[in-house]
Amino acid sequence: MGGNPFCPDLKGKVAVVTGGSRGLGREMVLGLAAAGADVVIASRKLPACEQVATEVVETHGRRALPVAFHVGRWEQAGELVERVYDHFGRVDVLVNNAGMSPTYSSVAEVSEELFDKVLGVNLKGPFRLTALIGSRMAREGGGSIVNVSSMGAVKPRGDILPYAAAKAGLNALTVGFAREFGPTVRCNAIMAGTFLTDVSKAWDSEAFAARAQQFALRRGGRPEEIVGTALYLASDASSFTTGAVIPVDGGQP
């Protein structure tokens, strides 16, 4: 930790963020870089990753590696790990942020392809990447793993059931990996509520405004409001926190 407890010191650390090219992932990448970390931006579209990498270098003067990566493809996890370790030689922080929640008209219309894709991105991919990187962290001195879950895991609605089931599984993995890789590697989760990322532009704004009135803070989250919790969990500020699933949701009922 640095002198300011609100600004965790991650100098000399390397952080990998999946889904790091947009939304909450982009904000966490920039927050980690601001705290001194070199970053890996891993997401499906390489040009978007490269854009964020340029921003990291120009704004924060940190090293940044953009990598095209599909988290739902098992074999790509190993490829990503090898590339990152070849480039930086270490990983200190892994943020499993990539996710997807496609819409469907009814639960009976959910196809096997959709179901498998949602579980692949939100559950299978984080399992494989955490297994690979967490094992190396444990052998090489430790690290911190941060999973980005969802309040849907504990408060599921009928229109997000495959996603909610996957995130509930991710919560379980968080606790299990904390035990598997302790005491040197910590694994925690941020259970995110409703954040106003680019995706929210397609929502019915009036319907959401009415729903948000049920939240304690009466609003959705700004993407940058995820960063404080992410930095806490990534850094030594949370040195006695592991296996925790922390809601960051504006007080959803």
> Domain map of the chain by residue range?
14-247
What does the pLDDT read at residue 34? 96
Among 109, 46, 107, which residue's Cα sits nearest to residue 80? 46
Q: Is residue 248 within 8 Å of residue 226, measured between CB atoms?
A: yes
**Active-site choice (163, 232, 235, 238):** 163
For the chain, which ranges sit under pLDDT 70? Answer: 1-7, 200-204
Helix (H, G, I), strand (E, B) or coil at 106: coil
CA angle 234, 9, 133 (to 5 degrees): 35
Q: Which residues have C-beta within 8 Å of that of residue 240, sequence separation ≥ 6?
A: none
Q: Has 104 been annotated as catalytic?
A: no
What does the pLDDT read at residue 106? 96
Q: Has 205 been annotated as catalytic?
A: no
Q: How far is CA 54 from CA 39, 109, 155, in A?
A: 11, 42, 38
What does the pLDDT read at residue 209? 82
Query: What is d(CA 48, CA 25) in angstroms, rounded to the nearest whole number?
Result: 12
CATH of 14-247, one of 3.40.50.300, 3.40.640.10, 3.40.50.720, 1.10.150.120: 3.40.50.720
**Active-site choice (43, 101, 124, 167):** 167
- Amino acid in position 113: E
Entry pTM: 0.94
Among 43, 42, 15, 18, which residue's Cα sits nearest to residue 31? 15
Q: Has 167 been annotated as catalytic?
A: yes
Residue 252 tokens, joined: 């959803």
Which run of H or E residues covers position 39?
strand 38-43
What does the pLDDT read at residue 51? 98
Q: Is residue 85 within 8 Å of residue 91, measured between CB atoms?
A: yes
What does the pLDDT read at residue 3? 43
What does the pLDDT read at residue 212? 82
Helix (H, G, I), strand (E, B) or coil at 52: helix
